[in-house]
Structure 1
Amino acid sequence: MSSAQRKDDHVRLAMEQQHAHSGRNQFDEVSFVHHALAGIDRPQVSLATAFAGITWQAPLYINAMTGGSVKTGAINRDLAVAARETGVAIASGSMHAYFKDPSCAGTFRVLREENPGGFVMANVNATARVEDVRRAIDLIEADALQIHLNTAQETPMPEGDRSFGSWAAQIEAIAAAVDVPVIVKEVGNGLSRQTVLALPGLGVRAADVSGRGGTDFARIENGRRDRADYAYLHDWGQSTAACLLDAQDSGLPLLASGGVRHPLDVARALALGAHAVGSSGGFLRTLLDGGVDALVAQLTSWLDQLAALQTMLGAPTPADLTRCDVLIHGALRDFCADRGVDTRRLAQRSSSIDALHEMTGSTR
């Protein structure tokens, strides 16, 4: 099967998952404690976020999706237009197809052509050669580089990799050879605390935990098999909320994607320590169902609603959401107990006298 056909299959199977989703995931096991006097005035709110030497005007990004075929090139064009019109960052899909077939370069280059002043991230796998990574960065004039980890996708993939032992060394070699910040991300199965802690030593500047709850690439690749005999890998890994809780205080800036359905999930992820939050499948569904205008409207609405939530919660900036009290419920609470995460501390973050005075705007 050609690389272009595989890319088109990924889009088709991802959309089938979007339409089949039950609607619930572990973000529903995170809730804010409501403090009725915590609210601030809307003009006090900023959506700007900063991490790893990067500053974005909003803590929202269109995460890695596609490229490599005529159809996916058209999708990338529309995604880039939506990013340009709303000012959010955007990542390319895996550029491995470009390394194999340079004639598909335009399906990735369009991300920069349609979004000349935006923040654009290139995306490669952990086996990419340094010279190819540099070509990818140059092609789209990337502001940052995503290196994706996807062992649970490669395993059922009929033509997938079966050698993972060199990945860490190759990430280190790539990070040392490029002039843009390197972000390591999963593709929907999550990054554990142990993985996150290993990344700074490899030269990585940030991690996108990209947990379970959104597009399931193990399920997609199993759907491409003749017998679909890897069904037991469906829903493998940790949820995005679990990953953020697991990697708290790791010292590495965290991004969050995987199962982000609406602005409240964005606020929840920010409250759990993410500096910015990305979505892929949901935005792609909006684009394919309603066109680029519908995606621009969705992104604009999400940004407006996030600012409204910050106003209600008393968080002038996205980073201030980490001072809001959150409760952890259900299986996510069990995960935290087993992994040694102190959920009581999360529920009492605003309980100091200074925090209470600041919350109410009162003085001593």
Structure 2
Amino acid sequence: MTRAQRKKEHIKLALSTGQNRATGFDDIAFVHQSLPNIALEEINLQTKIGELSLSSPIFINAMTGGGGTATESINRDLAIIANETGLAIAVGSQMSAIKDPAEKESYRIVRRENPNGVVFGNIGSEATIAQAEEAISMIDANALQIHLNVIQELTMPEGDRDFRDAFERIQMITESVSVPVIVKETGFGMSAEAVKLLSQVNLGAIDIGGFGGTNFAKIENKRRSRMLSYFDNWGIPTAASIVEAKSVAPHTPIVASGGIQNSLDIIKSFALGAAGAGMAGYVLKCLQKDGLEKTIHEVKEIHEDLKYLLCALGKKSLQEMGNVPMVLSGELYHWLHVRGLNPERFSEINHS
């Protein structure tokens, strides 16, 4: 099977396997504020992820590319959505186009349809400095994602089996390229231990890519003759991973992604410490099911809902969400408790 065929198969399987609600967000409840002392018109959704100033806290996270006209068409629509709604957008792994120049157009379409927007390039941790620079140049990227996908590669029949020196390559790329670097997981979450190591590098952000969204272990298992089913439920739930990351890298922008499906998930991410929220599977599903115009409308409604939620909590911006009281329960509470991350602190009464 060619790389392009595999990319198309991934899209098909991503849509069929879908997402679950194993992110941990449903274990969070906000403490109601009866006196928010705010007007809806005061609320601003602008945010910053490191050096990047964004008009929306949401971005369309990496999905595809390198699958010929099929993925080119998807990327065209995703870029139009980004352009119409002010979202940043990340392309899927550009290694396909780096290895096969015929696939470059499936990525370049994103910049062409979104000429003034914020676009993230994307490479794997196996990439060289030269490949990173080529990925940035290919789409005039404003930032570069380096993705970590050990479990997907191990489950993928034709995947990589050697993950040595990934950290050293990330460090060299970050020191060499001219745009911010975002290291991201691809659906299995980032532990405090991994984030602590990565925080030694001057990264633009860390995208924790938590468990609970598109499950690439399940996708790759559907392509295997002998399933590695023990990887199907492997990973750190998105909500838990945000807290793990912030506990060891308080000054590094943390991006939430992995199963984020609505405005409430987004605002809970910010309450846990995130600086931005990536959506991928949900946007793709909307696009395939309802079409371009309805997906644009859906994103605009998410923006509107975020303002309502901020108003209810008495906050003028998402950057003020860090001191909103909330009660954690269930598996999320248990995870944070046994990891020594003091989940009670999110519920403590502010007596000042």
Which TM-score applies when normalising by structure 1? 0.94
Q: Which runs of 5+ in 2 are unaligned?
A: none
Question: What CA distance in whole angstroms lies between the structure 2 residues aligned with 1:212 and 1:323?
Answer: 25
Question: What CA distance in whole angstroms lies between the structure 2 residues aligned with 1:188 and 1:205?
Answer: 20
Give the letter for the 1:198 counterpart. L
Superposition deviation, residue 200 in structure 1: 2.8
Judge conservation of contact 2:23–2:239 (CA < 8 Å) in 1.
no
Give the letter for the 1:274 counterpart. A
Report the secondary structure of 2:193's partner residue.
helix
Q: Which whole-Å deviations, capped at 9, do the CAs of 1:245-275 have from their partners, x for residues lacking one?
A: 1122423110000011111000100100001
Question: What CA distance in whole angstroms lies between the structure 2 residues aligned with 1:248 and 1:152?
Answer: 23
**For residue 264 of structure 1, what is the aligned residue in structure 2?**
264
Give the superposed CA RMSD: 1.2
Q: Which whole-Å deviations, capped at 9, do the CAs of 1:275-318 have from their partners, x for residues lacking one?
A: 11111011001111121112101111111100111111111111
Give the letter for the 1:255 counterpart. V
**For residue 105 of structure 1, what is the aligned residue in structure 2?**
104
Q: Work out whether 1:76 is the aligned partner of 2:81.
A: no
**For residue 32 of structure 1, what is the aligned residue in structure 2?**
30
Superposition deviation, residue 99 in structure 1: 1.4
**For residue 12 of structure 1, what is the aligned residue in structure 2?**
12
Superposition deviation, residue 222 in structure 1: 1.2
**For residue 322 of structure 1, what is the aligned residue in structure 2?**
322
Judge conservation of contact 1:39–1:313 (CA < 8 Å) in 2.
no
Question: What CA distance in whole angstroms lies between the structure 1 residues aligned with 2:277 and 2:216?
Answer: 19
Judge conservation of contact 2:33–2:314 (CA < 8 Å) in 1.
no
Q: Which whole-Å deviations, capped at 9, do the CAs of 1:333-363 have from their partners, x for residues lacking one?
A: 1111111112221112x6132xxxxxxxxxx
Q: Which whole-Å deviations, capped at 9, do the CAs of 1:121-157 have from their partners, x for residues lacking one?
A: 0011000121111111011100000000010101011
**For residue 307 of structure 2, what is the aligned residue in structure 1?**
307
Sequence identity percentage: 38
Judge conservation of contact 2:23–2:238 (CA < 8 Å) in 1.
no
**For residue 180 of structure 1, what is the aligned residue in structure 2?**
179
Judge conservation of contact 1:39–1:312 (CA < 8 Å) in 2.
no
Question: What CA distance in whole angstroms lies between the structure 2 residues aligned with 1:246 and 1:40?
Answer: 32
Q: Which runs of 5+ in 1 are unaligned?
A: 354-364
Give the letter for the 2:119 counterpart. V
Report the secondary structure of 1:121's partner residue.
strand
Q: Work out whether 1:131 is the aligned partner of 2:141.
A: no
Number of aligned residues: 349
Following superposition of structure 1 onto structure 2, how do residues 54-93 of structure 1 map, counting pairs within 5 Å? 54-69=52-67, 70-93=69-92
Instruction: Select which of 245, 248, 252 maps to 2:246.
Output: 248
Question: What CA distance in whole angstroms lies between the structure 1 residues aligned with 2:216 and 2:336?
Answer: 25
Judge conservation of contact 1:168–1:202 (CA < 8 Å) in 2.
no
Question: What CA distance in whole angstroms lies between the structure 2 residues aligned with 1:123 and 1:54?
Answer: 16
Superposition deviation, residue 207 in structure 1: 0.3
**For residue 342 of structure 2, what is the aligned residue in structure 1?**
342
Superposition deviation, residue 330 in structure 1: 0.5
Report the secondary structure of 1:201's partner residue.
coil
Report the secondary structure of 1:160's partner residue.
coil
Q: Which moves more between the two structures, 130-139 or 70-79?
A: 130-139
Q: Which moves more between the two structures, 36-45 or 252-261?
A: 36-45
Superposition deviation, residue 51 in structure 1: 2.8
Question: What CA distance in whole angstroms lies between the structure 2 residues aligned with 1:199 and 1:22?
Answer: 28
Superposition deviation, residue 39 in structure 1: 4.8
Question: What CA distance in whole angstroms lies between the structure 1 residues aligned with 2:327 and 2:205?
Answer: 26
Superposition deviation, residue 202 in structure 1: 2.8
Report the secondary structure of 1:274's partner residue.
coil
Following superposition of structure 1 onto structure 2, how do residues 116-265 of structure 1 map, counting pairs within 5 Å? 116-227=115-226, 229-249=227-247, 250=249, 251-265=251-265
Judge conservation of contact 1:196–1:252 (CA < 8 Å) in 2.
no
Judge conservation of contact 2:242–2:256 (CA < 8 Å) in 1.
yes
**For residue 356 of structure 1, what is the aligned residue in structure 2?**
none
Give the letter for the 1:331 counterpart. E
Judge conservation of contact 2:125–2:169 (CA < 8 Å) in 1.
yes
Give the letter for the 1:126 counterpart. S
Question: What CA distance in whole angstroms lies between the structure 1 residues aligned with 2:51 and 2:264?
Answer: 26
Judge conservation of contact 1:256–1:278 (CA < 8 Å) in 2.
yes
Question: What CA distance in whole angstroms lies between the structure 1 residues aligned with 2:182 and 2:109?
Answer: 22
Give the letter for the 1:40 counterpart. I
Question: What CA distance in whole angstroms lies between the structure 2 residues aligned with 1:88 and 1:205?
Answer: 18
Question: What CA distance in whole angstroms lies between the structure 2 residues aligned with 1:118 and 1:10?
Answer: 27
Give the letter for the 1:315 counterpart. K
Question: What CA distance in whole angstroms lies between the structure 2 residues aligned with 1:170 and 1:158?
Answer: 25
Judge conservation of contact 2:23–2:210 (CA < 8 Å) in 1.
no
Following superposition of structure 1 onto structure 2, how do residues 345-364 of structure 1 map, counting pairs within 5 Å? 345-348=345-348, 351-353=350-352
Give the letter for the 1:196 counterpart. V
